[in-house]
Amino acid sequence: MLICAYTHIPTQSDSGEMNMFNGKVILVTGGTGSFGKKFVSTVMERYKPAKLIVFSRDELKQFEMQQVYNDIKGDPIRYFLGDIRDKDRLYRAFEGVDIIVHAAALKQVPALEYNPFEAVQTNIIGAQNIISAAIDKKVKKVIVLSTDKAVAPANLYGATKLCMEKLFISANSYAGSHVTRFSAVRYGNVVGSRGSVIPLFLKQKENGKFTVTDKRMTRFWITLDEGVKLVLNGLKLMKGGEIFIPKIPSAKMIDICTAISPECKIDIIGIRPGEKLHETLIPEDEARNTYDGGDYYIVYSPTMPPANGNSRKKRVPEGFIYSSDRNDQWLSPSDIQNIITKEKINMNV
């Protein structure tokens, strides 16, 4: 049995990280989403920010979050309604902000294939708006959430996330002598996030049949806790221009079905447009600029070599590829059962 190896990440015991987040003004876009809520709860539990701003366009979800934190004395959380497509609103929201975590995105693949320019407006133009506003408002650190779908994208969602990654890494040059620095994190499927397959399978279990597109399919898996830890660690380590990638396990879709209900029938329906058999977090071409950080990898831009300190990390071997079917870490059905049990509260099932 294998438990995800990505666990040794500095937390509240690391005084450098504590000093970094305490007393700071932190803003998270998409703050009412699955990641955003977990990020807010983690920061509230471990640190003492001067202010924690939840930026999103859904007033109902903001209201629901307020019910959770409203009775905490000295609550530093603020709720800012707005859309990352609206640059003027971002300029107002970023006033006095030290750190931005950009988690807002449109990500439902079928919807974005049918409404392609909506994806461009949010995932690409919205990203450029954040970059410009952050630089002009002298935000010190900005980190963006990306996905394995951005590597050799097979659908519009992945293509927009790839473009977003490129914009954020190049933004370090665009910023020039300004203080703002930009980096990214890139990871796989999040267990129990909205729209993910595990909540879908849990619902299908009631009907006694799972719909699987291909029995060979594999995916990278990460929990919300691990995603938040990756972001916090990335903020601590970043110098600007890095993409941080966790070492996380893969799982076979068939094993997920077995973990949820071995008695259920599996209906193979065929791969959908824009879907891959396997996902890749680091392709061979990008591996030439990739270093092994122990529990994570760091991909550097060819135009931005490793900063002092990071240059001492070991470069990955020539021909290295980090894909879900070539992984040396795998989740068994029993591992998946344990994760589902632990994450059930996050999945709202």
For residue range 95-148, what is the model confidence (pLDDT) as tens digits?
A: 999 999 999 999 988 899 999 999 999 999 999 999 999 999 999 999 999 999
* CATH classification at residue 156: 3.40.50.720
Residue 197 belongs to some domain of the structure: no
Ramachandran area for residue 138 (φ above 0: left; ψ -120 to 50: alpha; else beta): left
Contact in structure between 12 and 47 (CB atoms under 8 Å):
yes
Other Cβ atoms less than 10 A from the Cβ of 234: the count is 25
Residue 201 belongs to some domain of the structure: no
Residue 275 belongs to some domain of the structure: no
- Which pair of structure tokens corresponds to residue 251? 């799982």
Residue 304 belongs to some domain of the structure: yes
For residue range 211-248, what is the model confidence (pLDDT) as tens digits?
A: 999 999 999 999 999 999 999 999 999 999 999 999 99
Catalytic-residue membership of 149: yes
Residue 146 belongs to some domain of the structure: yes
Other Cβ atoms less than 10 A from the Cβ of 203: the count is 10
Contact in structure between 134 and 94 (CB atoms under 8 Å):
yes
Residue 129 belongs to some domain of the structure: yes
Q: How many domains does the chain have?
A: 1
> Which residue among the candidates 107, 149, 229, 247 is catalytic per the annotation?
149
Residue 61 belongs to some domain of the structure: yes
Ramachandran area for residue 91 (φ above 0: left; ψ -120 to 50: alpha; else beta): alpha
Residue 213 belongs to some domain of the structure: no
Q: Which domain holds residue 26?
A: 15-188+223-247+280-321
User: What value does the mean pLDDT take over residues 291-316?
Assistant: 80
